[in-house]
Amino acid sequence: MEPFTCKLANGGTATGIYSIPPRTTTTNGPASVPLIIGLHGGGYNSDYFDAEANHTAAIPSRTYGVPFIAVNRPFYGGSTFDGPMPTAANYPQETGAWMHRHVFPALWAKFGAECLSVVFLCHSLGCQQGIVAAAMHAQENNPAYPLSGMICSGLGHQIPPAFAQHPPMVGNTGPDYCSQTIEFKDSMMFSPGTVDHAVLQQSERLSHLIPVAEANSIAASWAPTWRQSWAAQIAVPVMFAFAEMDFFFQATQSHLKECVEAFSGSPRVDGSLVHGAPHCMELSFWSQGWYARCFGFGMECAATYASIVKA
């Protein structure tokens, strides 16, 4: 994919990578073509969605003729935020509002000319900002970008006991950021036998310092409140999944059911437990199967949105 820098209306900056392919016979017109925006998880940056030749969202983007953007979230990869880093108690709300008010409108203006709507593709901690933005979008009469759907994986509220006993993260690269060794990080992101050696060779390049407040926000504010405060407000279709071998959350049918039911205002919620897959599905042997589902769901959302607009 190619890098981009996008100036925001308020003077800020959003950076990332993009794939804008030519139209295909699959997507002859804008009705079924969303602009899919990828939101990476914690400790990665936008390159997460373009890890190497066989593990990249560029493959389905080119195959289906669907534009794809991966944006660096606030405090990652050159993307800015107005003010100091939020605390763990308000990190999801403040960064999600920033994305909704400033970043997504600018990305739509820059990349959305050939599309009719936007679909979020969110992984792990990136789901926080996608869910908050989608909830805010639903409350506005004239939003600045046309959201038609959202995909989330790798974030919930039931934390495995072993992980729940860990103390809050503390900074080891200044007070606000934490750096993890590549070996330790990969051991959490992938279970044995779930990832290609070619991806592991990219681990150092893909790794990014994680904001301490972001990591600690799961227990401090997200897990207790996200269903009532944010998910219930969302009004677009949602696809939600857990990887069976997820290190950070309990990948059970009961937890999945609670998460799916949280989107009570959505007209459609597809939930699934991806058997055998690790936390980072986009980087795993499940990569292209998962991407195919995501892009297919995105095109369905765009077609549904188009039918409503035309009605």
The structural domains of the chain, ordered by start, are 2-310 (3.40.50.1820)
> What's residue 25's pLDDT?
57
Task: Tell me whether residue 254 is exposed, middle or buried, using C-beta atoms within 10 angstroms of its C-beta: 0 to 12, 13 to 18, 19 or more.
Answer: exposed
CA distances from 280 to 66, 72, 185, 269, 286 (A): 22, 17, 11, 21, 9
Residue-wise pLDDT for 1-10, tens only, equals 999 999 999 9
> What's residue 196's pLDDT?
98
> What's residue 129's pLDDT?
98
> What's residue 165's pLDDT?
73
> What's residue 59's pLDDT?
98
What is the C-alpha radius of gyration for the chain, rounded to an integer number of angstroms? 18
Separation between Cα atoms, residue 191 and residue 279, nearest integer Å: 8
Number of DSSP helices (H) and strands (E) in the chain, helices first: 12, 12
SS3 43: coil
Q: Which residues of the chain have pLDDT under 50?
A: none
Nearest to 195 by CA among 124, 251, 245: 245
SS3 124: coil
SS3 163: helix
CA angle (240 as vertex; 90, 137 as ends), nearest 5 = 50
> What's residue 31's pLDDT?
64
